[in-house]
Every structure is written in structure tokens, then in C-alpha cells.
Amino acid sequence: MEVLTETGKRVERLLYSSVIIIIASFLFYYLSEAISSDKNSLKKTLLLNFIEVINRNQKSLELAKDLQESYDRFQKENKNKTEKQLREEKEKERIEIVKLNKARLKLGMAEINVDKRIDEKPSPYTELNINNINSVRNKLNLTEHVSIEGAKDVYNEAYRLMVRKIFYNDNDLQKEFIKKEQSAIKDLIDSAKIKINELDKGSVKVFDVDTPLQIPFSLGDLKSNLSLYNIETVGMIFMPVLLVIWLGSISMTRAREIYYIKKSKRISETYPHILNLYYFIDRDLLEKQSDIDEFDQLISGDRDVIKSKRSSSYIYFIVRVIMLVAFTATILTPFYVGAYKVSGSLSVINVIGLCICFFINVIQAISFVVYEVNLSKTIFTVKGDVYEIK
């Protein structure tokens, strides 16, 4: 049966090609292990998050900085005034309110409480009003304030809160950027980008070899760098899809081969690859008369002989299953263990895709065993040109 031989050849080709898949799977594992053990990876992620948060809140931070500066100027002006000047300003204000009250009385309006108005001390700065201050504080997730004191250190307070929240598990970065709170917002972003570039120039150990995070390459006159993180990201997308397609191909081809083996019963026409390991008895190869008699009893349907021979078939079946399990585990385990090591940096879509592909791969691995069950207790017998299955 020519189709049986051709199917077996295809299975063997797929088995040989699996070496490439296994190498790719192990390479991904070692790359993921290196990246997951790289402390600079977390620092880079935190810095990118810092830049994103600063950009998102830049307008509110600038308003907070203006408020804080206005409050400082206001306080400085009051502090520089002598007690005599303050008394004179208060007395002048009192006289103006008294005059205003006289006019209000003539119009039949209520008088203004002179002491209360003076104690309120309205700010000469239009931006230093409670509503404006609390509006800015709300945008920066700060608690509201009941006076213009809410503008005091409003920018510093908001900035420190952001830095502590973003760099909560990295004390070095937290201390470094808290010291920069007086820097311009643009300078903060530039400083974070410079830090990221410094981290990108680092290296990780892959196969115990120091490998730069940025691998230089050139294509003609074009020179650029290829990041190991980008390689890992591409592998995370394409490897699970490749594993699904490849395992699906070999499992379906193997299922087809088992179908032809069972249908033709001609074990001698199977292609001799590693998975075609079956228990068979060829009468022409038997030398002892006792073995020949036992074979004849087997052909005639003797239950005791069939039962005694069936155990050998199960042994061959177990060996095939062990090889298949070891084979699929060698392919799948390195990749999925590597994916687990970097799972903390994966997006929700990546995690969902990985789970779907892993579930499909598990089903494919189980299908290998299910197909082999069809021939788990089969005894192939050959007598001349007659092939039978017991």
C-alpha cells in the first residue's frame, strides 16, 4: 500500500523538522530567562511609565507649578512688609469699608462686617482662589483645601506622590527623581529618556554569555540596532501560533498513518521511523516448533495464547506513548515556561492568545495518545502474504 509508505515518510520529515522547532523553543526559554532576571528591564518599564504619566498630567502639573510660585511670591511680599505697613494697609482698608457702609445705609442695604472682611485678607493674585486651587488639586488626585494654603507646595506634593507611586519598588529611581522635583517638566522627561538609553546599552547573560540588549546590524547603508526585547516580543506572538500549526500537522498526519496501518494490516509496508514500533509475529521467521505451534494457535483464535501475547503489545504501546510525551514536552515546555517567566510584562491580549494556543497544544498532545490507543493491543501476524490483526 504505497499511500501508507508515503504517509510514514511525511511523518518522519516532520519529526526531523521538529529539531528546528525545539531549538527555537529553547532559545526563547533562555532569552526569557535572561530578560526576566535582568533588573534593568523593570527599571526601563518604570521609566517608560513615568514618562507616560508625566505627559498625561503635564498641563495640570504646569498649573500646579504656577499656583505654587504665585503663592510663594504672595507670601514673600507679605513677609517683606513691616508691621507698620501692614497696620497702615489694614487701617486704610477699614476706612474704605466704613465709607462703603455709609453709602450702603443710604441705599437701605445691610452693613459689611468690617473685622470679618479685613480678616479674610483676599489675595491680590486672581489665580489664588479656593475654587481654582481645589480644581487643580482634584486633577492631581490631591485632597481639597479650605484656604489658599492649598496652593502651598501643591506642585511638590503632586510630583512626589507620582514618583512614589510609579517607583514604589525601586528606591534608587525614587530618590533620584524626587531630587529633580525643581526641574522643568521637559527636563524630567529628557532625564528619564537618557536613563532608558543608558539601560539599553547594558547586557544580559544568554547561555552564560554576555549579550548586549541592543544588537547592531546593517542592511546596506542602513545601520540600526535590534533589541532583545523586540525579539522576545516577536517570539511571544509567532511561536505559539507556529506550535499550534506544526503540532496540528504532525498529529493529523500520524492519525492518517495509523488509520492506513489498521486498514491494510501490512506492518511490513510501514515506513521505519521511530514511532512505528509495533509487536508483530512472522511465521516464516520462527525456528522452534513450539513457537510455530503457538503461532498457529494464535491464528486459530486461542484466547490463552492471544492473552499472553497481548501484554507484549501493551509494552510497545507504552514505549510509543513515552516517546510521544517526551517529544511534545521537549517542544512545548521550554517555550511556555519561558512565556511564564515574562508573563508579568504581557498585555491582556497576549495572555489570552497564549492561553488559547496552550489549550490547543494540550489537546493536540492528548490526541497523539488517543490515536495510539487504537493499536494499543494489536498483534500483527504474518503468514506468507496473509496479514492479520489480533
Pairing of strands 280-282, 380-383: parallel
Residue 265 lies in a domain: yes
- Cα separations in angstroms, 306 against 277, 289, 310, 385: 19, 18, 6, 21
Residue 211 lies in a domain: no
Rounded (10°) CA dihedral 230, 172, 137, 190: -50
Query: Same domain for 160 and 258?
Result: no
Query: Same domain for 48 and 193?
Result: yes
Query: Same domain for 278 and 191?
Result: no
In the listed set 175, 206, 237, which residue is the last one of a domain according to the structure?
206
Which pLDDT score is estimated for 169?
78
In the listed set 156, 191, 206, which residue is the last one of a domain according to the structure?
206
Residue 220 lies in a domain: no
Which pLDDT score is estimated for 23?
93
Domain span at residue 122?
Answer: 43-206
Query: Same domain for 16 and 91?
Result: no
3-state per-residue secondary structure call for the chain: CHHHHHHHHHHHHHHHHHHHHHHHHHHHHHHHHHHHHCHHHHHHHHHHHHHHHHHHCHHHHHHHHHHHHHHHHHHHHHHHCCHHHHHHHHHHHHHHHHHHHHHHHHCCCCCCCHHHHHHHCCCCCCCCCHHHHHHHHHHCCCCCCCCHHHHCCHHHHHHHHHHHHHCCCCHHHHHHHHCCCCCCHHHHHHHHHHHHHHHHCCEEEECCEEEECEEEEEECCEEEEEEHHHHHHHHHHHHHHHHHHHHHHHHHHHHHHHHHHHHHCCHHHCCCCCCCCCCEEEHHHCCCHHHHHHHHHHHHCCHHHHHHHHHHHHHHHHHHHHHHHHHHHHHHHHHHHHHHHCHHHCCHHHHHHHHHHHHHHHHHHHHHHHHHHCCCCCCEEEECCEEEEC
Query: Same domain for 112 and 6?
Result: no
Query: Same domain for 264 and 381?
Result: yes
In the listed set 206, 239, 260, which residue is the last one of a domain according to the structure?
206
Dihedral class, residue 45 (left if φ above 0, else alpha if ψ from -120 to 50, else beta): alpha
pLDDT of the chain, 390 residues: tens digit per residue = 678 899 999 999 999 999 999 999 998 888 888 777 666 667 777 888 899 999 999 999 998 888 888 888 877 776 655 555 656 666 666 777 667 667 666 666 676 665 655 545 555 555 677 788 888 888 888 888 877 788 888 899 999 999 999 988 788 888 999 989 888 889 999 999 888 887 766 666 665 666 666 666 666 666 666 667 777 788 888 999 999 999 999 999 999 999 999 888 888 888 999 999 998 888 888 888 888 888 888 888 888 888 888 888 999 999 999 999 999 999 999 999 999 888 776 778 888 999 999 999 999 999 989 999 988 888 888 887 777 776
Which pLDDT score is estimated for 316?
92
Query: Same domain for 191 and 245?
Result: no
Record the cell numbers describing residue 37, joined without a space: 532576571
Cβ atoms of 239 and 334 within 8 Å: the answer is no
What are the phi and psi torsion angles at 160 (to 5°)?
-65, -40
Query: Same domain for 192 and 284?
Result: no
pTM: 0.63
Query: Same domain for 202 and 124?
Result: yes
Euclidean distance between the first and the last CA atom of the chain, given in angstroms as a whole number: 20
Residue 224 lies in a domain: no
Query: Same domain for 195 and 312?
Result: no
Query: Same domain for 253 and 347?
Result: yes
Cβ atoms of 182 and 72 within 8 Å: the answer is no
What is the number of other CB atoms lying within 10 angstroms of the CB of residue 102? Answer: 10
Residue 74 CA to residue 138 CA, distance in Å, equals: 23
Dihedral class, residue 13 (left if φ above 0, else alpha if ψ from -120 to 50, else beta): alpha
Which pLDDT score is estimated for 255?
93
Residue 216 lies in a domain: no
Total number of domains constituting the chain: 2
Which pLDDT score is estimated for 230?
73
Residue 69 CA to residue 332 CA, distance in Å, equals: 60
Which pLDDT score is estimated for 356?
95
Convert the pLDDT of each residue in 244-280 to its tens digit. Answer: 999 999 999 999 999 999 888 888 888 999 999 998 8
Q: Which of 27, 365, 344, 9 is nearest to 169 (CA)?
A: 344
Residue 185 lies in a domain: yes
Residue 253 lies in a domain: yes
Residue 158 lies in a domain: yes
Which pLDDT score is estimated for 206?
64
Query: Same domain for 85 and 150?
Result: yes
